[in-house]
Amino acid sequence: MAQTELKQPHVLFLFSDTGGGHRSAAEAIIEAINLDFPDRFSTEMVDFFKEYAPPPFDLAPELYPPMAKVPDMWKFGYKLSDGQRRTHIFYNVVWPYIRRAAFKLLNEHPYDLLVMVHPIPVVPISRAMKPDSPPFITVVTDMVSTHALWFNRRSDLVLVPTEIARQNGLAYGLRPDQIRVVGLPVGQRFCLPIGDRHLIRIRLGWPQDLPVILLIGGGDGMGPLAKVARAISAAHLNAALVVVTGRNHKLKAQLEAEEWSMPTFIYGFVREMPDFMRSADILLTKAGPGTISEAFIAGLPMILYSHMPGQEDGNVSYVVTEGAGVWAPEPTRIIEVLRNWLDHPDERENVAVNCRRLAKPDASHLVARAIADQLGIAKE
C-alpha cells in the first residue's frame, strides 16, 4: 500500500507595494524559510490592495508615490489616523464596504499560518477570521515610529525591528510574551560577508584611491537627489560620487547629461546594492527602514537627507541618537558633514562601528524560526 504524502504547511503573506519595503520584507522571510527549512513549507504572497481591495482602495499602490511627494499631506494623514480609538472608529465605518473583500481573500487563499507585513490589513483580516482560524503573525516593517495599526491583540505574535517598537506595542496593550524584537528582515545577499572591497571596486569600475559617496533615494528615486548631487559636485570634494536614481529614468538621463567636478557614476535601478554598500565609504539616503537596516549590516555611515514625516521621524532620531549617522536636510549641512568625515576618517570609522553594533543580519532567519515554531516544525 502506497504511503500517503503529507501535506506541507502553507504560509500566506499579505503585503502591498505602498512603500516601507513590505514586498522586500516578505521576500526576505520566504528566502530564509527556503534556506533554513528546505521543502518543509509552501509559501504564497498576496497583494491585498491590488487583488482584493474595493475601489478606491485598490489604487493605493499607484497613489503612494505622488502622495509621498507631498510631505505635509502625508504627515497629516499619518498623525490623524494613528491611535487605537481612531483606527477603531475608521474600521467600523468602512467595515460594511470592505468586509466582503476580506472574507473573499481568506476563502480563496487557505493557509496554515498567515503573516502580515503591512499594517492596513491587520484589523479587517483579523476581524474576518473565524474563532478556529489558523494563527497569524504580524511582522512590523516600520523601524521606530510604529503606527497603532500594527499592534492588534488578536495577533498570535508580533515581531518588531527595535526595542523602541516593542515598547510601543506594549503601550498599545500587547502582552510581553506576544511581542518580540528580531530586527527588520532583509535579503540574504545583504547579510553575506563583505569580501574584498578592492576586487568589488575593480569590477564596478570605481576608483581605488578615493573615498566613495553613495547617494540613493529608494527604488523610485525619491527625494532631492539631483539637488544633493549637484551640491556635492559644486563642493569639489576629494571623493567619487555614485548616484542611484532607481526607476526614475528621466532623472538618470538628466544627470548623465551633466558635467561633474569629480568621478561620478550614474545608475538607474540596480540589483547590486549589497556590493555598492560594501564598497562605499559614506551613504546619503532618505530615512527608509530597509535601507537603514542594510547600511547597519554593511557598517556604512549614513547622512539622512529626507524622511517621510510621521512614519520615519523615529528612524532619524534613532540613527542620530545611536551615533550611526547624521541628519542633514540641507545641502550646506550635507557638505559640512562630508568634509568632516573625509578629513577625519577616524570619526567616520567610529560611526561605522556604531552601525555594525545596531545590525541584525539574522532577522529574516529569526522570523522563519518563529513561523516554524508556530507550526510545530523543527529545524533539521
**Ramachandran bin of 336, using left for φ above 0, alpha for ψ from -120 to 50, beta for the remaining angles:** alpha
Distance CA 356, CA 296 (A): 5
Distance CA 30, CA 12 (A): 10
Q: Which residues contact 5 (CB under 8 A, 6 or more apart)?
A: none
| CATH code for the part of the protein at 10-187+361-375 | 3.40.50.2000
Sheet holding 42-47, edge to edge: 42-47, 10-15, 113-116, 136-139, 157-160, 179-181
- The grid coordinates of residue 123 equal 484589523
Q: Which residue has the cell 523615529?
A: 314
Asked if the domains at 10-187+361-375 and 192-358 fall in one CATH topology, the answer is yes
Q: Torsions phi, psi of 65, nearest 5?
A: -60, -50
- For residue 56, say if its preceding peptide bond is cis, omega within 30 degrees of 0: yes
Q: Which helix (H) or strand (E) holds 113?
A: strand 113-116
Q: Torsions phi, psi of 326, nearest 5?
A: -130, 145
Q: Is 89 exposed, middle or buried (0-12, 13-18, 19+ CB in 10 A)?
A: exposed
Q: For residue 223, what pLDDT is reported?
A: 64
Nearest to 148 by CA among 78, 74, 64, 73: 78
Quick: pLDDT tens for 16-32. Answer: 987 658 999 999 999 99
Q: Which helix (H) or strand (E) holds 352?
A: helix 345-358
Distance CA 373, CA 176 (A): 18
Distance CA 260, CA 104 (A): 55
Q: pLDDT in tens for each of the 380 residues of the chain?
A: 344 455 789 999 999 987 658 999 999 999 999 999 999 999 999 999 899 988 887 766 666 666 666 666 666 666 767 778 888 888 888 899 999 999 999 999 999 999 999 999 999 999 999 999 999 999 999 999 999 999 999 999 999 999 999 999 999 999 999 999 999 999 999 998 877 889 999 999 999 999 999 999 865 655 689 999 999 999 999 999 999 998 889 999 999 999 999 999 999 989 999 999 999 999 999 999 999 999 999 999 999 999 888 888 999 999 999 999 999 999 999 999 999 999 999 999 999 999 999 999 999 999 999 999 999 987 76
Q: Which residues contact 167 (CB under 8 A, 6 or more apart)?
A: none
DSSP state of 159: E
Nearest to 328 by CA among 369, 279, 286: 286
Quick: pLDDT tens for 86-144. Answer: 888 888 888 999 999 999 999 999 999 999 999 999 999 999 999 999 999 999 999 99
DSSP state of 59: G
- The grid coordinates of residue 214 equal 553613495
Q: Which residues contact 163 (CB under 8 A, 6 or more apart)?
A: 181
Give the residue extent of every domain in the chain.
10-187+361-375, 192-358
Q: For residue 65, what pLDDT is reported?
A: 64
According to DSSP, the β-strands at 136-139 and 157-160 are parallel
DSSP 3-state helix, strand, coil percentages of the chain (rounded to 5)? 50, 15, 35
Record: fold of 192-358: Rossmann fold (3.40.50)
Alpha-carbon separation of residue 376 from 136, 277, 364 (angstroms): 14, 37, 18
Q: What is the pTM of this model?
A: 0.91
- The grid coordinates of residue 356 equal 555594525
